[in-house]
Amino acid sequence: MTAHKPGDPLTINRLYGRAKGKPLRAGQQALIDTLLPQIAVPAEGPVTAEALFGRDCPLHFEIGFGGGEHMAGRADMLPDHCFIGAEPFLNGVAQALVHVDGGRGSDGTATGMPIRNVRIHHGDALEVLARVPDGALSFA
Q: What is the pLDDT of residues 48-105, one digit of tens each?
A: 999 999 999 999 999 999 999 999 999 999 999 999 999 999 999 999 999 999 876 5
Answer yes or no: is 139 within a domain. Answer: no
| Confidence bin at 1 (pLDDT 50/70/90) | very low
Q: What are phi and psi of 24, to 5 degrees?
A: -75, 150
CA 90 to chain centre: 11
Give the CATH number for residue 64: 3.40.50.150
Answer yes or no: is 135 within a domain. Answer: no
- When mean pLDDT is compared across 13-22, 33-42, 57-66, the lowest value belongs to 13-22
Answer yes or no: is 32 within a domain. Answer: yes
pLDDT at 134 over 70: yes
pLDDT tens digit sequence for 8-17: 655 555 555 5
Answer yes or no: is 140 within a domain. Answer: no
The C-alpha torsion from 101 through 15 and 60 to 31, rounded to 10°, is -10
Are the C-beta atoms of 119 and 39 separated by less than 8 Å?
yes
Domain total in the chain: 1
Answer yes or no: is 49 within a domain. Answer: yes
Answer yes or no: is 109 within a domain. Answer: yes
Provide the whole-model pTM.
Answer: 0.82
CA 43 to chain centre: 13
Query: What is the rounded CA–CA span in Å between residue 60 and residue 49?
Result: 9
- Side chain identity, residue 19: A
Answer yes or no: is 79 within a domain. Answer: yes
Q: Degrees (nearest 5) of the Cα angle 77, 45, 133?
A: 65
3-state class (DSSP) for residue 125: helix
3-state class (DSSP) for residue 42: coil
Range of the domain at 80: 26-129
Residues, the chain: 140
Nearby residues of 56 by Cβ (< 8 Å), 6 or more positions away? 49, 50
Answer yes or no: is 77 within a domain. Answer: yes
